[in-house]
Amino acid sequence: MGSTLAMAPDLLKGNQMVASVFEVLDRKAEVIGDSGEELARVEGMIELSGVQFSFPSRPNELIFVGFDLVVCAGQSMALVGRSGSGKSLVLALVLRFYDPTAGNVMIDGEFLFDEFHCSCYF
């Protein structure tokens, strides 16, 4: 009985972790579905223009405000900054794991997300 009671904190932690996993699985994605054109050839120029973004779980906490970035095709680059500054988020926006709340994300001049037309292409 004593050994079982000693495991109680671990069982509670496990229960909380399972609940958080189910919360993530049950969350409805806010990314607009792809119904755009397929690009025949991709050179690889990436452009973020005037991007504003906040995570759905923290809408009042802006990560990007007017963020601009141009990466030319074939160019190597590095993003550096403190934890939580948005380094991984740049890739997540290009891969459309998230859509920006404002601004444009483009590959080779084609909009992945266009704030003015709410169009998705790729």
| pLDDT recorded at residue 59 | 87
pLDDT digits (tens, 9 = 90+) for 44-97: 899 999 999 988 888 898 889 999 999 999 888 899 999 878 889 999 998 888
pTM (global) more than 0.75? no
Confidence at 34, pLDDT banded by 50, 70, 90: low
Looking only at the bridges linking them, the beta strands covering 46-54 and 62-71 are antiparallel
Q: Any idea what the Cα angle at residue 15 is, between residues 9 and 20, rounded to 5°?
A: 125
Question: What does pLDDT average to over the chain?
Answer: 79
Task: Say how far apart CA 92 and CA 110 lie, in whole Å.
Answer: 17
Least confident interval from 12-26, 55-69, 70-84, 104-118:
104-118
Alpha-carbon distance of 24 to 63, in angstroms, equals 21
- In residues, how long is the chain? 122
